[in-house]
């Protein structure tokens, strides 16, 4: 069993910073920067990196582009799993899914210390504003937040039927976050805002529909099982783009709300996504089904003191890295034993390359399809089962992952990480009240818990 210490102490901070320096490899001499006063983490559900304007995407996204212009953009950021709760659990624990134990949605995260707990313990006010039932505090991510706001107002059609109050639209979440900011003056805070809008169904609010004659390239796409025609697939892609435009407007409202209140001074903003979306690539509409780029590559933008404006970071990162990165920025000790790396020296130019040389990830079993893993090193991406030879893609020559080559045994970094096992086996146990609530909402059958991320 792995042991992770989260004791906050000056000695711990010194050790953690020293370790961070070792990880970063060669680095220029740098004057330590003081901690930021405020850190704002924005996670956007279901946002493919390649649909963000600054990543070359088809949606202008001026707010996200502006964030990239004021800070750093990581070109190779990945989720360890294309599923909401396990991906957010990795972000908040700094651990791979097979180490924190949340391997699918609606499985509570227990026993593993969280980013927000550590920040709270350091005396910094914490608040979260989330927009999906999948992040309900009963699943464990509320630990460490003084305020954890979830006020669903919108229905969602789950695979078993309609759920009347499942998610909140981005403007409602932004309003709530800005109201919290205005409720009382706070010199320091850690604020997490989660948006759900790009998740299916793709029905952008009025004013954000994309023009019906907007050209939609379906190159490389094939019809997902539930889609009848390419015209319908094009319409769904158009709807998704409208949702991305809408959520970008909400990011803009939040950022400008902070700026106009003078709260962006000496503050950090981190924006990312929990996973991408199929949109017809590799024959899949939503997410959770495979480990191709459209489902696992996410945007990662970081605006922070010391990070040069407009910096483009060509290298790898994954969501696990954001816990140690956020702690470093806030001046809170980074615990040892994390799977994540502190990205701050790389982002500030104190290290010449990313401390992460390999990305690891997993997709849960989807019977009769097996549990899948991936390891990406440079442009080479391996996908396979725990004990198979798998397949390899050359992302440089074949970015659409159309030509699979025979692989070898599971690569060394993946095999070594999987061999260390999980931290908390009990994470898979639901308490009776949560089980009843989920059954009432139609998530769970009477027997095995097998909630699906999507599946309309
Ligand atoms: Zn999600």
CA of 375 to the centre of ligand 1 (A): 21
- 11-15, 51-55, 244-248, 277-281: least confident range: 11-15
Whole-number Å distance, alpha carbon 34 to ligand 1 midpoint, is 34
Distance 419 CA to ligand 1 centre (A): 27
**Rounded Cα distance, 234 and 200, in Å:** 14
Q: What is the pLDDT of residue 436?
A: 64
Cα(296) to ligand 1 centroid in Å equals: 11
pLDDT in tens, 272-314: 999 999 999 999 999 999 999 999 999 999 999 999 999 999 9
HSE of 91, CA atoms in CB hemisphere, 13 A:
30
- CB distance 241 to 189 below 8 Å: no
Q: Which two tokens stand for residue 6?
A: 């989260």
Give me the residues paired with residue 260 across strands.
none
State mean pLDDT over 178-197.
97
pLDDT range class, residue 454, cuts 50, 70, 90: very low
Query: In this model, does residue 207 exceed pLDDT 60?
Result: yes
Task: State the Cα–Cα distance between residues 198 and 250, nearest whole angstrom.
Answer: 12
Residues forming a β-bridge with 373: 362, 384
How confident is residue 165, by pLDDT bands cut at 50, 70 and 90? confident
Q: Facing residues of 97 across strands?
A: none
The stretch 435-455 carries a mean pLDDT of 46
CA of 351 to the centre of ligand 1 (A): 32
Distance between CA 166 and CA 12 in Å, rounded? 41
Mean confidence (pLDDT) of the chain? 88
* Ligand 1 centroid from CA 45, angstroms: 4
Looking at residue 448, what is its pLDDT? 32
Distance of CA 231 to the CA centre of its chain: 31
Q: How far is the CA of 247 from the centre of ligand 1 (A)?
A: 14
For residue 31, pLDDT over 80 is answered with no
Helix (H) or strand (E) holding 119: helix 115-121
Q: Which range, of 150-159, 301-310, 327-336, 358-367, averages the lowest pLDDT?
A: 150-159
| CA–centroid distance, residue 297 to ligand 1 (Å) | 13
Ligand 1 centre to CA of 256 (Å) is 25
Q: Are 224 and 257 in contact (CB under 8 A)?
A: no
d(CA 293, CA 278): 9
Q: What is the predicted pLDDT for the residue at 430?
A: 57
Average pLDDT on 324-346 reads 97
Closest CA to 166 of 449, 445, 444, 443: 443
State pLDDT tens for residues 214-267: 889 999 999 999 999 999 999 999 999 999 999 999 999 999 999 999 999 999
- For ligand 1, the distance from its centroid to the CA atom of residue 88, given in whole angstroms, is 8
Three-class DSSP category at 89: helix
Three-state DSSP at 268 gives strand
- Checking DSSP bridges between strand 161-167 and strand 154-158, what pairing results, if any? antiparallel
Tell me the sheet residues that pair with 361: 374
86 pLDDT more than 70: yes
- Please give the distance, rounded to the nearest whole angstrom, from the Cα atom of residue 317 to the centre of ligand 1: 18
Q: What's the CA-to-centroid distance between 274 and ligand 1, angstroms?
A: 5
Q: Is the pLDDT of residue 61 over 80?
A: yes
Length of the chain: 456
Q: How far is the CA of 28 from the centre of ligand 1 (A)?
A: 38
Return the pLDDT at 212.
87
Indicate if the pLDDT at residue 109 is higher than 80: yes
Work out the average pLDDT over 55-67.
97
3-state secondary structure of 33: coil
Distance of CA 18 to the CA centre of its chain: 27
45 has a pLDDT exceeding 90 = yes
Question: How far apart (Å, rounded) are the C-alpha atoms in residues 236 and 215?
Answer: 13
Tell me whether the omega of the peptide bond preceding residue 201 falls within 30 degrees of 0, making it cis: yes
User: ω before 115 within 30° of 0 (cis)?
Assistant: no
424 alpha carbon to ligand 1 midpoint, in Å? Answer: 23
196 Cα: distance to centroid of ligand 1 (angstroms): 8
Residue 330 near residue 5 (C-beta atoms within 8 A): no
For residue 235, count CB atoms less than 10 angstroms from its CB and return exposed for 0-12, middle for 13-18, buried for 19 or more. middle
| Residue 65 Cα to ligand 1 middle (Å) | 22
SS (H, E, C) 220-251: CECCCCCCCCHHHHHHHHHHHHHHHHHHHHHH
- What is the model's pTM? 0.89
Q: How far is the CA of 89 from the centre of ligand 1 (A)?
A: 11
124 C-alpha to center of ligand 1: Å? 27
CB within 8 A of 455, min separation 6: which ones?
158, 159, 286
């Amino acid at each position: 069993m792995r042991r992770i210490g989260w004791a906050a102490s000056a000695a711990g901070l010194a050790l953690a910073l020293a370790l961070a320096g070792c990880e970063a490899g060669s680095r220029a001499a740098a004057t330590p920067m003081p901690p930021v006063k405020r850190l704002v983490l924005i996670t956007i559900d279901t946002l493919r990196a390649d649909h963000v304007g600054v990543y070359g995407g088809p949606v202008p996204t001026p707010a996200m582009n502006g964030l990239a212009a004021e800070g750093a953009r990581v070109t190779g950021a990945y989720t360890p799993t294309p599923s909401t709760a396990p991906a957010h659990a990795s972000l908040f624990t700094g651990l791979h899914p097979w180490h924190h134990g949340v391997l699918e949605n609606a499985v509570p995260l227990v026993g593993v210390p969280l980013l927000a707990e550590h920040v709270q313990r350091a005396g910094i006010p914490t608040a979260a504003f989330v927009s999906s039932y999948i992040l309900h505090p009963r699943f464990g991510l509320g630990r460490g937040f003084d305020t954890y706001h979830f006020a669903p107002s919108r229905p969602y059609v789950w695979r078993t039927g309609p759920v009347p109050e499942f998610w909140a639209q981005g403007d409602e979440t932004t309003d709530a976050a800005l109201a919290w900011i205005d409720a009382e003056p706070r010199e320091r805070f850690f604020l997490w805002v989660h948006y759900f809008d790009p998740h299916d169904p793709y029905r952008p609010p009025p004013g954000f529909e994309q023009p019906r004659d907007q050209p939609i390239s379906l190159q490389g796409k094939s019809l997902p099982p539930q889609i009848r025609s390419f015209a319908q697939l094009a319409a769904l892609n158009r709807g998704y783009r409208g949702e991305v435009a809408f959520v970008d407007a909400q990011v803009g409202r939040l950022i400008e709300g902070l700026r106009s209140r003078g709260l962006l001074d000496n503050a950090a903003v981190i924006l990312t996504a929990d996973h991408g979306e199929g949109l017809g690539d590799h024959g899949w509409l939503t997410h959770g089904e495979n480990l191709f780029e459209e489902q696992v590559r996410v945007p990662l933008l970081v605006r922070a003191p010391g990070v040069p404006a407009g910096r483009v970071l060509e290298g790898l990162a994954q969501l696990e890295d954001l816990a140690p990165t956020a702690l470093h920025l806030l001046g809170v000790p980074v615990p040892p034993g994390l799977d994540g790396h502190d990205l701050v020296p790389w982002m500030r130019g104190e290290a010449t390359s990313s401390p992460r040389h390999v990305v690891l990830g997993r997709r849960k079993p989807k019977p009769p399809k097996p549990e899948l893993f991936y390891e990406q090193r440079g442009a080479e991406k391996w996908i396979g089962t725990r004990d198979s030879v798998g397949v390899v893609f050359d992302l440089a020559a074949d970015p659409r992952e159309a030509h699979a080559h025979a692989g070898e045994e599971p690569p060394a970094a993946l095999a070594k990480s999987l061999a260390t096992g999980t931290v908390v086996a009990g994470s898979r146990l639901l308490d009776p009240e949560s089980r009843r609530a989920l059954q009432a909402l139609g998530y769970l059958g009477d027997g095995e818990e097998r909630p699906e991320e999507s599946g309309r």
